[in-house]
Amino acid sequence: MDDKFFEFGRKSAVELIRTLFYAGTLPILYASYRFGEHFALAHPVLGTVFRQDDFYRVGEKSGWILGLMMGGAALIILVTLWKVICEMLLIALRYFERGTGGAIASDKRARRKKRRSRP
């Protein structure tokens, strides 16, 4: 990680949103895992069929393959939604950066303008 991550100060909108995106994926991973686990336990599959005393008995097992697939699908959907939300936040932050001149890049532009205006 960057050494300047834990320092306060000006950061560009891209850096803030990138940090927010990666920090937000951790709860998404946990939620997807729990969803897959719940789905596996709530939807058991038929396991083995065995014969005992002229009766057929069926054993149920947890559907871990189905839970794994549903957890993966939930992960893909939630990460895509989180990416869209972060992109929308990035658009809004860039708009406000331009309006207020609070970005690192706009500071560089302001310095260039000051240099040009000097006689």
- pLDDT (tens digit, 9 = 90+) per residue, 71-96? 999 999 999 999 999 999 999 988 88
Q: Which helix (H) or strand (E) holds 61?
A: strand 55-61
Q: Which residue has the tokens 């893909």?
A: 76
Sketch the domain layout of the chain as residue ranges.
13-117
Exposed, middle or buried by CB within 10 Å (0-12, 13-18, 19+), for 6?
A: exposed
What is the 8-class DSSP label of residue 118? -
Q: Which of 41, 1, 8, 7 minimizes the C-alpha distance to 23?
A: 1
Spell out the per-residue pLDDT of the chain, length 119, in tens. Answer: 566 666 777 777 888 899 999 999 999 999 999 999 999 999 888 777 777 777 777 777 778 899 999 999 999 999 999 999 999 999 998 888 777 765 555 556 556 665 665 55
d(C-alpha 97, C-alpha 102), whole Å: 5
**Cβ contact 73:41 at 8 Å:** no
Q: What values do phi and psi take at 102, rounded to 5?
A: -100, 10
* Contact between residue 70 and residue 36 where contact means Cβ atoms under 8 Å apart: yes
